[in-house]
Amino acid sequence: MVGHLARLRQDFEEIVQASADSNADDEHDPEGSTIAFERSQLESCIHRAERRLHHLQDARTRVTNGGYGLCQACGEPIAAARLWALPLARSCITCATIAL
């Protein structure tokens, strides 16, 4: 995950550098997506990867502290089926439903 995030950030920097060195008007290029669109897409991927990494680190901390598998809202055990489907779950299905 860390390597994937590093590659995304590198790709983003390459796009930023390429657009800084160019005076092309890509906003009117009928042949493809704009540099701004590609930059926005990569930014979105970076944010998703950062959130995923944060959730993984949080789950690792809960495993270390003995809190993994316990609902952070009510303290009850999270059903095994929920953890199997969503290993990073921090709440039981009841509390997750209430939060919606």
52 and 90 part of one domain = no
The predicted-structure confidence for 58-83, as pLDDT tens digits, reads as follows 999 999 999 999 999 999 999 999 99
1 and 43 part of one domain = yes
21 and 42 part of one domain = yes
The predicted-structure confidence for 6-41, as pLDDT tens digits, reads as follows 888 887 787 777 766 665 555 555 555 677 788 888
Contacts of 38 (CB under 8 A, 6+ apart): 15
23 and 53 part of one domain = yes
Residue 81 and residue 40 in contact, taking contact as beta carbons nearer than 8 Å? no
48 and 62 part of one domain = yes
User: What is the span of the domain harbouring residue 21?
Assistant: 1-68
In 1-100, DSSP assigns E strands to none
Give the pLDDT of residue 97: 93
Q: What is the pTM of this model?
A: 0.63
82 and 49 part of one domain = no
41 and 76 part of one domain = no
